[in-house]
Amino acid sequence: MTLQFDPQDIDRFKADIRGIPGYPSGEELPIRAMVFEPDALARLPGLLALAGVTPDKQLSVVMDRTPMAREGKELKPLVLDVLKSAGWQPEVIWLEPDSTGQVHTDFSQINCVKARLQPNSAVLSIGSGTVTDIAKHACHVYQQEQQISSLPFVVYQTANSVSAYTSNMAPTFVDGVKRTLPSRYPDVLVCDLKTLRDAPQAMTVAGVGDLLAAFGSYADWWLAHRLGMDSTYSEFAQTLMGPLDEIFLENAEGIKAGTLESTSVLAKLIALAGIAMSLSHATAPLSGYEHVISHVLDLIAERTPRPLAQHGTQVALATLLTTNAYQIFFDEFEPAEINLERCYPTEAQMRARIDEAFRSLDPSGRVAAECWSDYKIKLESWHAHRADFEEALRDWPAIRDRLRTLAKPPDVTARILNAISSPARFEDLTPAPAEAEVEFAFKNAPLIRHRFTLGDMFVFLQWDQEALWTQASKNL
């Protein structure tokens, strides 16, 4: 199956996506090229030039110390050699791990990179999601502070691991809680297929997993829209991405075997996902209840502290939970049985619930305060849109039918994970969260963000969370 919207041919791609309903009118995608080729590495000097990296620029290369291989050779020295042969004198900015042994996207890292930039800098990031996000956001903040209109930024993607590379947003830890900050696009995306093929298999399956979020998030986003809780909804992302279930089932063998063709399809889907979110001006199309669950698990890991599990795989497992929860909701929700008055908790009640939930994680109360500052927005909106909810209750059969078309049953996710030999249970994650931690994340995820998802329905409807968890986590 060929992708309907192929980002490789950039001019045609830009023209074609402008015709998709929901494309933001008047907006131009500033990415100049996205290259998906077996030997894109050899073209790097030309691609830098295309991004506006002129000889007067100081080229900074941002990377961490993770060893990477391409066709049996060390990748990072290889890339530096290509640059030097072309006459560049790259200055490497090394990202050092924090106390967990990992590099995380936070302001201590972003500020380290930013401090090394100059008005004539150009930046090349070589790495996966975290390295890319740090470099991207350092460029963005530097440009804003110095009021520089263009600082060439090229992304050399080293794994098909996460949909971060082409977006103009940066998921960043702020006070321990992950927040999505407005950032910038890259000028050029370099997907050297041999590099991506030779990345660890665990990262590739995570890249698939991050996209499987769509099987719950499209429904979450539409539900929020239908209840008056999100004004950004459009079908742009779904149209751009195409039928993900079919594409993945068709490419699963190739992804598992590491063919260049399937490596390319996955890299393109990942690129499309970043663009889909950016042009929707929201992460919501590919980030629903499953991502907030994943964020709570990351929050627990940060606090423990222990390394974060592979993001996309954690997300895929959370998708199994949330899409299962959708099926339970479809089967069991009876609008006639609800007590409407009880669906509208007060600020004091929810503030107390959040304080109580997060006290054990952070006795200082900072995490709870950060969660409340965002949650409060959602609670106010929920109260303000009570009429929308009442109307939706009357129209529930039609809403359920629509949601059923958007939320894929959990066995679709399970089949794809199985076909690519992905971990299929939380206990298979590295490091694995305790079952009680996954349960905590499932139950409390709605409390950390203003994003409205199915999880919030369970909170506001005062659904029996114990029973729901038991049912939703069956077989996991």
Interface contacts to Zn ion, rule CB under 5 A: 210
Q: Identify whether the C-beta of residue 302 lies closer than 8 Å to the C-beta of residue 448.
A: no
By beta-carbon proximity to Zn ion, the closer residue of 210 and 298 is 210
Ranked by CB distance to Zn ion, the top (closest) residue is: 210
User: Nearest-5° angle of CA 5, CA 169, CA 110?
Assistant: 135
By beta-carbon proximity to Zn ion, the closer residue of 133 and 210 is 210
Q: Identify whether the C-beta of residue 445 lies closer than 8 Å to the C-beta of residue 322.
A: no
By beta-carbon proximity to Zn ion, the closer residue of 192 and 210 is 210
By beta-carbon proximity to Zn ion, the closer residue of 221 and 372 is 221
Q: Kindly state the smallest distance separating residue 295's Cβ from Zn ion, in Å.
A: 9
**What residues have CB less than 8 Å from 180, skipping those under 6 apart?**
169, 170, 171, 172, 283
Q: Kindly state the smallest distance separating residue 133's Cβ from Zn ion, in Å.
A: 11
By beta-carbon proximity to Zn ion, the closer residue of 210 and 302 is 210
| Cα separation, 56 vs 54, whole angstroms | 6
| Cα separation, 202 vs 97, whole angstroms | 20
Q: Identify whether the C-beta of residue 139 lies closer than 8 Å to the C-beta of residue 117.
A: yes
How large is the C-alpha radius of gyration of the chain? Answer: 22
Short-list 157, 93, 92, CA closest to 130: 157
Q: Kindly state the smallest distance separating residue 262's Cβ from Zn ion, in Å.
A: 20
| Cα separation, 92 vs 126, whole angstroms | 10
Q: Kindly state the smallest distance separating residue 286's Cβ from Zn ion, in Å.
A: 7
Q: Kindly state the smallest distance separating residue 238's Cβ from Zn ion, in Å.
A: 17
107 burial via Cβ count (<10 Å: 0-12, 13-18, 19+): middle
By beta-carbon proximity to Zn ion, the closer residue of 40 and 309 is 309
Q: Kindly state the smallest distance separating residue 315's Cβ from Zn ion, in Å.
A: 5
Short-list 263, 296, 325, CA closest to 448: 296
